[in-house]
Amino acid sequence: MNNLIWMLVGALGWGSISYWLGRRSVRRIDAPSAFVPKPASAKPAKSAGPVGSGEKDENISEYLTPLDETTTVTVEELSSIVEQVDLFLLLGRHDVAISMLLDRIGIEGDGDPRVWFKLLDIYYARGDSANFEKLANSIHVRFNVALPSWEDCTLQAEGRHGLEHFPHLLARISDCWGSSASLNYLQSLMKDNRSGERTGFNEDAFREVMFLISILEQEAGPQ
């Protein structure tokens, strides 16, 4: 990650960095190689259908944090959802984790990109190229990011680059860093995509924007 980004984050204190590192999802994680038994109280869940299929798991509600169209989700609640997903991944319950994220995306619409990227990483780890490609296209339409195709992921791994390739953006972020204006600006960078007509950021740069937003949200505390 760009040194200037770490300098900006360091200006807010290492507590914020530790918080984010403890809660962020692991990028391109591998699926667990060994089976881990699920808790005795848990019931079997059906495999989640593809993105947009509309299929629902009749038993999934017992695992979920209740959400509906009137729910306001705070930064802490979002972190809790991601932590629940991480727990089910650890238990080998990928079907439950996927269903939780699909339900969250369905409720929130455009929502928070961290939820979308979490689901994308799971599809990649599972080798589910069909749903990966479908979700990647949906992310590109909703957010200002150009995602590599499934086939490009390995080829582009060595050539990735982040916000250091956008010095004018880094300069503006530095000028207003730590203020509400910096958070608003970073959020605008994520979603100003003109319905997918622009190429958008490469994936690494977009994830760095998400990283900076997470730090600023933690620093600001509950809203």
Q: pLDDT tens digit string along 146-195?
A: 877 887 765 555 555 678 788 898 889 888 888 889 999 999 888 756 66
pLDDT tens, 78-96?
Answer: 567 777 888 888 778 899 9
pLDDT for position 25: 38
Is 39 part of any domain? no
Is 149 part of any domain? yes
- Asked if residue 111 lies in contact with residue 105, where contact means CB atoms within 8 angstroms, the answer is yes
Least confident of 56-60, 133-137, 180-184, 193-197: 56-60
Helix 14-23 × helix 203-220 angle, to 10°: 120
Structure token digits, residue 110: 């455009």
- Residue 104 to residue 60: CA distance in whole angstroms: 13
Comparing 113 with 197, the larger pLDDT belongs to: 113
pLDDT for position 53: 43
Please name the helix (run of DSSP H) or strand (run of DSSP E) that holds residue 145, with its range, or none: strand 145-146
pLDDT surpasses 70 at 142: yes
pLDDT for position 97: 92
pLDDT for position 44: 42
Is 13 part of any domain? no
Helix 203-220 × helix 180-191 angle, to 10°: 150
- Least Cα distance to 47 among 88, 96, 81, 89 occurs for 96
pLDDT for position 10: 61
- Residue 64 to residue 216: CA distance in whole angstroms: 27
- Asked if residue 171 lies in contact with residue 164, where contact means CB atoms within 8 angstroms, the answer is no
- Asked if residue 103 lies in contact with residue 200, where contact means CB atoms within 8 angstroms, the answer is no
pTM: 0.53
pLDDT tens, 15-40?
Answer: 444 444 444 433 443 333 333 333 43
Structure token digits, residue 204: 């690494």
* Average pLDDT in the chain: 69
pLDDT surpasses 90 at 5: no
Residues of the chain above pLDDT 70, percent? 54
pLDDT bucket at 13, cuts 50 / 70 / 90: low
pLDDT for position 73: 44
pLDDT for position 48: 42
- Residue 36 to residue 92: CA distance in whole angstroms: 6
Is 34 part of any domain? no
- Asked if residue 119 lies in contact with residue 135, where contact means CB atoms within 8 angstroms, the answer is yes
Helix 129-142 × helix 113-126 angle, to 10°: 160
Count structural domains, the chain: 1
The rounded radius of gyration (Å) of the Cα atoms in the chain is 18
Residue 92, CA atoms < 13 Å, CB-side half-sphere: 9
- Residue 18 to residue 50: CA distance in whole angstroms: 35
Residue 117's domain comprises 3-7+47-220
Q: Which residues pair with 202 in a beta bridge?
A: 146
